Structure 1
């Protein structure tokens, strides 16, 4: 685990904060070199495609994706330390790929079937990850971002560059969030581990 999670990261605190607040963010969470390796593994297996969704994490072992399997098993063990209600809290993964200059997402909430844990990991690239207060998304499912003064001001934001992580804990609330404009020269690649009600 010490070779994957950065020495200055505090994973227990990171996950406990998510349980208390519905979200947590951590820059410099895992080794960026692992992100490069997983990116290559995803590409080789045909998964490095935007909107790759609801794939079983058992595919990592089946496709010989050593680094992806290692990161997933490490984070799953960390989640199980703070939440003993499930022995397999992150059975699925998704991949998002954003081009430079692209707005990552709208302001949105996760589908209620996702969770209670979702952990996002930036493999490559750089863009803000933003969380908003509940009243900023009251009556509609999504809110487009325009990159101007009309955009809502985030409750909290993080520069989600390579090696960063965020967690959403949806058991008690669905937190509005978004990915901002990709301002790296390379595409942003995001790997998300999560549970779903379909797997319970």
Structure 2
């Protein structure tokens, strides 16, 4: 989809870049380091959208981004309302994957669109059904794929994500990190197709 303004993906994620490219968008990537804290009393299913908005705010109040569309995103994994963030080491990754093994968990991907200092934030949720995973298979996955940049310590497009997810209720791309069906709808108003 051709947009009437330049699009910037404010993310270092190769997965989000791939999704946006495959959806036919033209864009450049430019990420800003953002401190990813959130209020301790915030409902866990709101954290992804909150962090996506925080990332977008890092681009605000800057004339260099005037008349440019900034897209930022964040993904969280929840199981029994416990938030599983990115694992700090192999042991944390193992504990996370052990919790997901044989259970259903929730993946929430939030995204924000910043345009001329106005921010809109969105969110999408998918339920993921994980088959039970043997402990030695978990260790092999961690050593092979080093999933330390992924919330919940796995990627749906590789390893355990490919072999042990039985079904999804919701969007595959939300689990991958960008709910592209909602991103498309949100960006449509900036396109030549949109009739004012």
Q: TM-score, normalised by structure 2?
A: 0.31
Higher relative contact order at CA 8 Å, sep ≥6: structure 1 or structure 2? 1
Q: TM-score, normalised by structure 1?
A: 0.30
Q: Mark the structure with the bigger radius of gyration.
A: 2
- Which structure dedicates a bigger proportion of its chain to helix? 2
